Amino acid sequence: MIIKITNLPVGIHAIQFEKSVEELQLGEPFVDNLILDCKLDKSTHQIVVNCNLTISTKLNCDRCNIDYDKILKSDFTLLYLFDKKEVDESETNVKYLSPADDKIDLTEDVIDYSKLAIPMKKLCKDDCKGLCIKCGTNLNQEKCSCNNEEMDSVWEPLLKLKDKLN
């Protein structure tokens, strides 16, 4: 995902990339192709790249343990400043381009933002009911006949405290 910037005039430019996840060496849970829509704003001193990333995944629900497909989206902005001297980029979030640089490579940033788009809690749907803790029935598909009213005796002191407060 390389953008050649030497012959690019000052102004706003729309650029789109479509790459396979195999080509970017993104493993599971990513599938199919990744689409990156960029709006590049070039001025005489800097380049601002606003990116919209769309990628398909096959995830496993953390509550009910079923596999499901989900399209993840991530928006991010990259700032490149033109600078004649070599600068250590690890200390800032801004990237620097020397006059000798003729292109911008977005590949590593796209890989990083793809991985960051994976949710920490993967749910097949927002109101997923999960599995029954006793029999393992998927409560999204059917209702089980387990008695879930029994409470562990560890919680009895808290229930007594709750009753006193009410």
Mean pLDDT of 144-165: 76
The mean of the pLDDT values for the chain is 84
Other CB atoms within 10 Å distance of the CB of residue 107: 15
Given a contact cutoff of 8 angstroms between Cβ atoms, the answer to whether 16 and 37 are in contact is yes
Question: Where residue 39 falls among pLDDT bands split at 50, 70, 90?
Answer: very high
pLDDT of residue 132: 83
> How far out from the chain centre does Cα 20 lie?
17
Mean pLDDT of 37-57: 90
Q: Tokens representing 146?
A: 């387990």
pLDDT of residue 92: 57
Segment 91-135, tens digit of pLDDT: 556 788 877 778 888 888 888 888 888 999 999 988 888 888 878
Distance (Å, whole) CA 55 – CA 10: 30
Higher-scoring residue by pLDDT: 102, 88: 102
If residue 52 lies in a helix (H) or strand (E), which one and from where to where?
Answer: strand 46-60
Please give the DSSP secondary-structure letter assigned to residue 126.
Answer: T
For the chain, the domains span 2-128, 131-166
In this prediction the pTM is: 0.72
